[in-house]
Amino acid sequence: MSGRVDVGAPPVVKRAGPEAVRGRAPSQLAWGRFRRDRVAVASVAVLVVIALFAVLAPLWAHLTGHPYDRTFPETGLDVAGQPRGPGAEFPLGADQLGRDVLVRAAYGTRVSLVVGVCAALLATVAGTVAGTVAGFAGGAVDAVLARLMDMTLALPYLLVAITLATTFRVSSAAAGLALTVLVIAFFSVAASGRVIRGQVIALRRREFIEASRALGASDARIMVVDVLPNLVAQVTVLTSLQIPAAIVFEATLSFLGAGVPPPVPSLGSMLGEGSDAFRSAWWLLAVPGALLLLVTLAFNLIGDGIRDALDPRGGGRAGRGR
């Protein structure tokens, strides 16, 4: 940025009034609008707290003396074999096997955040590349890419995702995490790809692109220098709204036993494994359920805030995110 055009200090305009008008970049204006959005800022705060809770998972395990995968049949379960509720020994109760729900929830939130953010980033990057190439190239390339994206949208994604995740079942936690990220990203590429493609097609006919072309710029240069910077706002909004969607996707896969392999906990698998026991132990439903809801809600509110900040004219016009 700084190396390109140095215009020096902004010219100070002398005015009659007490304050001078200073030029601000669009990103500064957007940041200013975002900062004044109380709901979005509060969501960021909530998310920071939850992220800290997740990052410090080993600390909770150390403090309670309960590793996430150890069962404590003596202290965690009562005489009838039912999990014990929240108390001094288990701050948020024990699960059906006598494991610490607090520690598992912290590790599970970690998985949710990592998978959600990675899958959303991967999907938006791939979607942006596919959408830009399709929209810019036009013709046969566009036809093939657009049809492929339509086809992945026609797939019964949950069904195919479970099939994929189950058949390629791996035992190591890291590989399982990577597989889950890939499966989720694969089914999210088309959604952002289509939006970007539409945007690029609209941009392609604009005068400044023609000007570049008239100056003899190559296709690649136009794409990178002229088109991509104009997509930044769109891509930011898409990413921020795809994160919560990816988190819900991961939770659903894990709930059905097709996500991150046990014993690594995920909020979804905690709910799935506890779904037989929660009738008598509400904390097995409440703790992971509330965390999941808070995380997705916070991301959605931040996404809405970013959209409003980047596009102040679009206020009140609701998109169709799901």
Residues that bind another protein (CB under 8 A): 151, 154-160, 162-164, 166-169, 244, 248, 251-252, 255-256, 258, 268, 271-272, 275, 278-279, 282, 285, 289, 292-293, 296-297, 299-301, 304, 316-322
Minimum gap (Å) between residue 293 Cβ and another protein: 6
- Work out the angle at residue 299's Cα, subtended by the Cα atoms of residues 234 and 269, and round it to the nearest 5 degrees: 125
Which residues touch 41 (CB under 8 Å, ≥6 apart)? 34, 35, 305
CB of 47 to another protein, least distance (A): 13
Q: What angle do CA 131, 133, 134 make, to 5 degrees?
A: 65
CA 88 to chain centre: 35
Residue with Cβ nearer another protein (28 or 163): 163
| Of 183 and 223, CB closest to another protein | 183
List the one residue out of 128, 232, 143, 259 whose CA is nearest residue 189.
128
Compute the least distance from the CB of residue 189 to another protein, in Å.
15
Shortest reach from residue 64's CB to another protein, in Å: 25
Please identify, using beta-carbon distances, which residue of 136 and 249 lies nearer to another protein. 249
Would you give the end-to-end CA distance of the chain in angstroms? 36
Residue 75, φ and ψ in degrees, nearest 5: -90, -30
Among residues 161 and 222, whose Cβ is nearest to another protein?
Answer: 161
65-66-69 Cα angle (round to 5)? 150
* Closer of 96 and 128 to another protein (Cβ): 96
